[in-house]
């Protein structure tokens, strides 16, 4: 039990905590975020558990920060392609990034709200649809249908929670930072009043929309005699 490692390397930034947490979840025999405890992370950093609470409020905030770090690594979109190809590229780029952190989808799905980096990414994808000429209405449903695939995995992004939602001031700030999200949220396609992000949608409609797009697409492929051997991928 020597002190080792020199006394006080870096005074333990928030960023260093998050990077260590991501590295721990990445490694560690596939245990992922479940295997990550405040105590083990503290030990990894050579500090007492309580020291972590100076940089993250609690375990939930640690996980949120880890997700934001990982999602922030997603490469920016290639400029100026057709909207469909551009969305496709961005989704596959997100997938490449998240594949390096296999624990992330499960953590993301359990988040109470999207992180800023997630909102940046979603706003950018919405922008691609809109500049391709799709209506805000159709774009909204397309985002729901793609769901977690937007970040490269197949899950809900976040289940519609009946939480309090942002107040008017916070909503205005969000709208300024994420204009495309604000636009489709404001779309009155669904009867209820749309709060700034996520809330107020007709879950059942979104579910059936995506289901029917998939079933119709599969039917079309069937009628066309599609087979995977035919390199017909794209």
Partner DNA sequence: ACCTGAACACCGTTCAAGT
Site for DNA in 46-65 (CB under 7 A): 47-51, 53-54, 58-60
User: Between the CA of residue 128 and those of 12, 70, 122, 134, 184, what are the distances in Å?
Assistant: 39, 22, 10, 9, 13
Here's the x/- map for a second copy, 111-150, by CB under 8 A: it reads as: ----------------------xxx-xx--xx--xxxxx-
Here's the x/- map for a second copy, 79-118, by CB under 8 A: it reads as: -----x--xx--xx--x------x--xx--xx--------
d(CA 49, CA 41): 8
Axis-axis angle for helices 179-186, 116-131 (nearest 10): 70
Q: Residues 48, 179, 193, 205: which binds a second copy (CB under 8 A)?
A: 205
User: Between the CA of residue 89 and those of 73, 74, 120, 124, 151, what are the distances in Å?
Assistant: 15, 11, 16, 12, 11
Residue 74 in tokens:
């997603």
- By the 8 A CB rule, do 188 and 194 touch? yes
The single-letter DSSP state of residue 11 is -
Residue 203 in tokens:
């879950």
CA 166 distance to own-chain centroid:
19
Please state the closest distance from residue 41 (CB atom) to DNA, in A.
8
- Residue 208 interacts with which of DNA, a second copy, none, CB < 5 to 8 Å by class: a second copy
Residue (53 or 83) nearer to a second copy, CB: 83
- Residue 51 interacts with which of DNA, a second copy, none, CB < 5 to 8 Å by class: DNA
Q: Rule CB under 8 A: which residues touch a second copy?
A: 84, 87-88, 91-92, 95, 102, 105-106, 109-110, 133-135, 137-138, 141-142, 145-149, 152-156, 159, 189-190, 205, 207-219, 221-222, 226-229, 233-234
């Amino acid at each position: 039990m020597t002190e080792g490692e020199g006394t006080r390397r870096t005074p333990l930034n928030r960023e260093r905590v998050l990077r260590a947490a991501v590295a721990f979840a990445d490694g560690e025999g596939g245990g992922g975020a479940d295997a990550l405890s405040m105590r083990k992370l503290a030990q990894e950093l050579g500090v007492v558990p309580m020291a972590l609470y100076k940089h993250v409020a609690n375990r939930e905030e640690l996980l949120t920060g880890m997700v934001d770090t990982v999602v922030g690594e997603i490469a920016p979109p290639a400029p100026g392609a057709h909207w469909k190809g551009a969305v496709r590229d961005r989704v596959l780029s997100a997938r490449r990034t998240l594949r390096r952190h296999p624990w992330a989808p499960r953590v993301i799905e359990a988040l109470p709200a999207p992180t800023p980096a997630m909102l940046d990414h979603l706003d950018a994808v919405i922008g691609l649809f809109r500049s391709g000429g799709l209506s805000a209405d159709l774009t909204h449903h397309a985002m729901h249908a793609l769901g977690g695939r937007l970040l490269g995995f197949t899950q809900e992004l976040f289940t519609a929670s009946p939480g309090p939602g942002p107040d008017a001031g916070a909503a205005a700030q969000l709208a300024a930072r994420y204009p495309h999200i604000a636009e489709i949220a404001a779309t009155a396609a669904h009867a209820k009043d749309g709060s700034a992000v996520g809330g107020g949608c007709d879950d059942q409609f979104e579910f059936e929309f995506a289901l029917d797009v998939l079933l119709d697409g599969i039917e079309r492929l069937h009628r066309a005699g599609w087979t995977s051997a035919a390199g017909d991928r794209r």
